[in-house]
Amino acid sequence: MRPITAKELLEFDKNLQVVVLQCYPIPEQVVYQAGKCDYSETPIHIQTIPSPQKCGEWIVERLLSNEKGHWGPLEHPAITFSVSGYVHSVMAQARTHRVGISFDVQSQRYTGKRVVKVASGELKPEDVFYVRPPGFYVNRTGKKYDWFQEDYEEELKFIVEGCKRYAVKYEKGMCEEHIRDYLPQAIRQNFAVSFNLRSVLHFIDLRAKLDAQLEIQALCEQTIPYLQNWAPNVWKYYEDKRLHRARLSP
């Protein structure tokens, strides 16, 4: 039996979303300017900038191809994503990467009303908490198991009961930073994250690996189309030479 894939997970769970908030408009041009500065007798700001396509071709040829490994100039342009609907454990995994990456994460100290709304029936439990879809799973150590529809539904029932206990404590006046400790870890947690071009490729090297946790593979899967459009020449090189190959990160 074939294990469930990141793309199938995204088809099942439409709450999982990655959206660009802001980004450097033409990243390959500024990478070109920064990299070219190393070779130039004259200041780079007085030189004519080639087209984005020509800049991208120069980056691949002069900085990256044939294992040159000159990744430093890729640190200049930045991109910021809004990531929503992912389970707390994925946010925790993502946040372990700090070099060239900045996070702002939804706080459970101030966002407990959504849990109370699950308890009252105003929100569906699957909109506030994450449960893996039914399917066949294999982890990185080779452990295999089936997760059936009845397992999925039973877990949602446990979550609702936990939310009801939370709501009782909330109504008694307990603060959210206290009662959050008794919630299932499966709560969804939104975050904003900023990368530079080098650090986002570093992140994908580590987290798009085929033995990475399924949910963080899905996060990478949703990020990739933006990178294809944002820095097309750099991305094409990366896709051909590094994607899913578990190589040492640049």
* 62 & 22 share domain: yes
Scan for tokens 């996070």, then name that residue. 103
> Would you say 202 and 220 are in contact if contact means Cβ atoms under 8 Å apart?
no
In this structure, is residue 94 part of a structural domain?
A: yes
* 80 & 199 share domain: yes
* 195 & 229 share domain: yes
With 0-12 / 13-18 / 19 or more C-beta atoms within 10 angstroms meaning exposed / middle / buried, residue 178 is exposed
> Would you say 127 and 16 are in contact if contact means Cβ atoms under 8 Å apart?
no
If you ran DSSP here, which 8-state letter would residue 5 be given? P
Q: What is the CATH number of the domain that holds 76?
A: 3.30.1360.170
> Which residue, among 94, 88, 89, 80, has the nearest Cα to 106 in the 3D structure?
88
* 21 & 46 share domain: yes
How many residues are present in the chain?
Answer: 250
* 21 & 98 share domain: yes
What is d(CA 164, CA 159) in angstroms, rounded to the nearest whole number?
9
For residue 247, the model assigns a pLDDT of 78
Per-residue pLDDT of the chain in tens (250 residues, 90 and over written 9):
889 999 999 999 999 999 999 999 999 999 999 999 988 899 999 999 999 999 999 999 999 998 888 999 999 999 999 999 999 999 999 998 878 899 999 999 999 999 999 999 999 999 999 999 999 999 888 899 999 999 999 999 999 999 999 999 999 999 999 999 999 999 999 999 999 999 999 999 999 998 899 999 999 999 999 999 999 999 999 999 999 987 766 7
In this structure, is residue 10 part of a structural domain?
A: no
- Among 153, 182, 211, which residue terminates a domain? 182
For residue 59, the model assigns a pLDDT of 97
For residue 38, the model assigns a pLDDT of 87
For residue 4, the model assigns a pLDDT of 95
Q: Dihedrals φ, ψ of 207, to 5°?
A: -110, -10
* 74 & 175 share domain: no
What is d(CA 122, CA 140) in angstroms, rounded to the nearest whole number?
38
* 157 & 111 share domain: yes
In this structure, is residue 142 part of a structural domain?
A: yes
**Total domain count, the chain:** 2
In this structure, is residue 145 part of a structural domain?
A: yes
Q: Dihedrals φ, ψ of 225, to 5°?
A: -60, -35
pTM confidence score: 0.93
* 114 & 87 share domain: no
Domain that holds residue 215: 17-104+189-241
Contacts of 161 (CB under 8 A, 6+ apart): none
**Strand, coil or helix: what is 83?**
strand
- Among 145, 167, 182, which residue terminates a domain? 182
> Which residue, among 193, 187, 134, has the nearest Cα to 162 in the 3D structure?
187
For residue 249, the model assigns a pLDDT of 67
**Which amino acid belongs to residue 149?**
Q
* 202 & 91 share domain: yes
The C-alpha angle 5, 207, 158, rounded to 5 degrees, equals 60
